[in-house]
Structure 1
Amino acid sequence: MSGLKSRRKGQSAEREFAKLIGGLRVPLSGAQEGYANDVIGLGLAWEVKRRKSGFKQLYDWIEDEREKPDAVALRTDNKQWIVCMTLDKFKELMDK
């Protein structure tokens, strides 16, 4: 994907996510010093990533019909735990 097309795809994802959480997209994020993260919302600073199929395994785990997990916890050796869940589940937890 060309640089311009890739940048537009990323900005589109940032705008979409900011709208979904009632947050704000950070202008110039990643393009200029002092503008960190992509979106601010729900009291958190967010990096927004979008891939055509780069997260397939993660989606498979979250959408497992047999297990029906609320979240997936991941960790690479010598790194911190990461928790992944659907946005709907996250917003439900934030409302409690």
Structure 2
Amino acid sequence: MGKASRDKGQRREREFAELIGGRRIPLSGAQEGYPNDVEGMGLQWEVKAKKNGFKMIYDYVLDEREKPDAVALKADRKPWLVVMTLDKFKELMEGDK
């Protein structure tokens, strides 16, 4: 991984940690014992950023006609995933208090 990619990843990790009131884990992925990028909201997070690698997922979640709260995704022989906007997730988590 080049310096530009590493810097971009760290920027996104810091941004996400701030948005959820969490903290970025220094050395995440670089040193044993630090497996995830961010801690926050009672969860361990892995943060991924791609220029346009998630376009189809965004299209599903932000569908203006259907306006889903979340999208369930399933690949063959893989577990289910649930994708939603951070605002919706925070709304759900805050309602849990």
Q: Distance in 2 between matches of 1:32 and 1:63?
A: 36
Give the CA deviation at 1:29. 0.3
Aligned to 2:65: 66
* CA distance in 2: counterparts of 1:59 and 1:83, whole angstroms: 13
- The unaligned stretches of length 5 or more in structure 1 are none
Long gaps (5+) in structure 2:
none
Alpha carbon RMSD of aligned pairs, Å?
0.8
Match of 2:20 in 1: 21
Q: Aligned residue for 2:5?
A: 6
Q: How much has 1:80 moved relative to structure 2?
A: 0.7
After TM superposition, the structure 1 = structure 2 runs for residues 56-95 of structure 1, keeping only pairs within 5 Å, are 56-95=55-94
For residue 8 of structure 1, give the secondary structure of its aligned residue in structure 2: helix
Q: Distance in 2 between matches of 1:79 and 1:55?
A: 18
Same amino acid, percent of matched pairs = 69
TM, length-normalised to structure 2:
0.95
Deviating above 6 A after TM superposition, structure 1's stretches of 4 or more consecutive aligned residues are none
Correspondence for 2:50: 51
